[in-house]
Amino acid sequence: MSRIGKQPVIIPSGVTVTVGSDNVVTVKGPKGTLTETVDRDITVEVKDGQVIISRPTDQIRHRAMHGLYRSLISNTVKGVTEGYKKEMELVGVGFKAVNAGNVLDLALGYSHNIIFEVPSELKVSTATEKGKNPIITLEGSDKQLIGQVAAKLRSLRKPEPYKGKGVKFVGEVLRRKAGKAAGK
């Protein structure tokens, strides 16, 4: 049996989990409402303040989905209670980030500024301190959406391996390369 899949998801107080028709799991909490569509072969039950996920057979496909959907439901429960947060750092001379509501204005060393609209489900904020790199903070309840937006922001200017300039996650360790050797 899947080690992850057989663990029940504990529902904290203030959170309601309902399983609707077509295996749609709806999770409501203080930070919002999230839904997760579960494959029709996987069974989801809510008992005694826990969500129990079970599978019909030991086929590879069922075993894989067992752990997957347990993790996805666990992420939605955590998202509506605590929420998720990702911080990104702009490394480079003249790199700037300014936000007006959910619209980011990024100066990333191109000939023009990049205007990036963040989905309304997420909250974005920027911080610029003297002597430090600008930081973009993404907050929300949907882990998948935050990861997708953060990956899109990073793809606008990936960190390069020589000086490390670009958009990177806070705490991310980059593989650096040595520059060219000195001439003769």
Segment 17-60, tens digit of pLDDT: 999 988 999 999 999 999 999 999 999 999 999 999 999 999 99
- Cβ distance 104 to 98 under 8 Å? yes
Average pLDDT over residues 65-84: 94
> In angstroms, how far is the first alpha carbon of the chain from the final one?
64
Domain range 9-81, its CATH number among 3.90.1150.10, 1.20.1250.20, 3.90.930.12, 1.10.286.10: 3.90.930.12
Regarding the domain delimited by 84-169, which CATH topology (the fold level of the hierarchy) does it fall under? Outer Surface Protein A; domain 3 (3.90.930)
**Which of 63, 56, 44 lies closest to 1, judged by CA?**
63
When pLDDT is cut at 50, 70 and 90, the band that residue 5 belongs to is confident
Q: Residue 1: pLDDT above 60?
A: no
| CA atoms within a 13 Å half-sphere pointing along the CA-CB vector of 18 | 8
Q: Residue 4: pLDDT above 80?
A: yes
Average pLDDT over residues 82-110: 94
- Cβ distance 40 to 65 under 8 Å? no
Q: Residue 105: pLDDT above 70?
A: yes
pLDDT, residue 184, reads: 61
Six-digit token pair at 174?
Answer: 């980059």
- Cβ distance 162 to 177 under 8 Å? yes
Alpha-helical (H) ranges within 32-132 are 60-81
- Non-local (6+) Cβ contacts of 104 within 8 A are 97, 98, 114, 115, 116, 117, 118, 124, 126, 136, 153
CA distance 174 to 127: 22
pLDDT in tens, 115-169: 999 999 999 999 999 999 999 999 999 999 999 999 999 999 999 999 999 999 9
- Cβ distance 57 to 20 under 8 Å? no
CA distance 64 to 62: 5
CA distance 97 to 134: 7
Cα 180–chain centre separation: 37
pLDDT, residue 179, reads: 85
Task: List where CATH 3.90.930.12 sits in the chain.
Answer: 9-81, 84-169
| CA atoms within a 13 Å half-sphere pointing along the CA-CB vector of 36 | 26
> Hunting for tokens 């060219």 — which residue is that?
180
pLDDT, residue 180, reads: 84
